[in-house]
Amino acid sequence: MTTEVRSMSTEDLVQMIDETEHSLLELKMELRRRRQAQQHAEIERLDEHLANAKITLGGLKLFFQTVLDELRGGSKTS
């Protein structure tokens, strides 16, 4: 504990605690706002995410089909 805090009056210390709690509340509210804004931005990009997932799944399907074809000794995709 610093000497400055030790020399403060009880009233000043209570006021400092109140101000600190208020600042903490404002910071938490700002953090919540930013997280919600980020979630909304990701929701707005949902179509893009789904399109990318379809491309990825399509590529995986082609990959596995190629592997299966090669394991079976043939190549249906060539």
| 3-state DSSP of 15-78 | HHHHHHHHHHHHHHHHHHHHHHHHHHHHHHCHHHHHHHHHHHHHHHHHHHHHHHHHHCCCCCCC
Model-level pTM?
Answer: 0.55
Per-residue pLDDT tens over the stretch 4-61: 989 999 999 999 999 999 999 999 999 999 999 999 999 999 888 888 888 888 888 8
State residue 14's pLDDT score.
Answer: 97
